[in-house]
Every structure is written in C-alpha cells, then in structure tokens.
Amino acid sequence: MLAFAMREFALSQRVGDDGTTQRDHCESYSRQTGEHYPGWEPIKCPPEALYLFNYWCSMSARRTNNGFGPNPIPDEGVLAWEKRKGIQLASLEHEVMDLLEQAYFRSQPKPKGK
C-alpha cells in the first residue's frame, strides 16, 4: 500500500509553472499513445487496504498550511476526524495512518535553495 501511496503523492506533484501535475502529463501521454508513461506504470493498492488510504485522504483534506508548506495532521485532528465520522481506528490502523503521513512528507518537494 505504501508503494501505491507514494505513487499517488508523486503523481499529484506540480511539475510546471502552468500548475500541471505529473498525473496530468502521464494521462496526456496515455491518451496520445495508448500506453503508460515510461516509469509511471500504475501501482495497485490492495483492495483490503484501500479504505485506509481513503481515510487518510479524508483527514488530509482538512490539513492546515503554515505558509511554507503543509502541516502534519495532529493526533487531535485524527481524533476529531474519528468522532466526526463515527469511526474508531484500531491501533494497527493508526500505525498505517502514521506511515502514510511519513510517506506524504517524504514526497513533498524541498524548498528551493535547500
């Protein structure tokens, strides 16, 4: 699942000054050639884990930003999400959320000049 998540994060990265994403470029290539962009072949998420990625996406959609980039989802934010959705994550599911959060931040572009 982490390979799937990392690919999704990479596909969402902006690659040009026009605001297009890597996903936009890959999809355009596929439309024009009927093939996957080399090196960007799809990675499938195991169906039994997809709900966890969707949960993380739901939490991430409410993520704050400090002006320099995204802030981590705080534990309080996860608890508020659980309460709002009426879902109680198991310990293992919380660990997966932490791994997805770490993967997300590893995928973020570094500030220019660093």
pTM score of the predicted model = 0.86
Query: What single-letter amino acid sits at 47?
Result: P
17 pLDDT band, cuts 50/70/90, is: confident
Q: For residue range 26-67, list pLDDT tens digits in order.
A: 999 999 999 999 999 999 999 999 999 999 999 999 999 998
Q: What are 48-52's contacts with CB under 8 Å, separation 24+?
A: 49/1, 49/96, 52/1, 52/93, 52/96, 52/97, 52/100
Domain map (residue ranges) of the chain: 2-107
Report the C-alpha gap between 90 and 42 in whole angstroms. Answer: 29
Output the six-digit token pair for 63.
């993520």
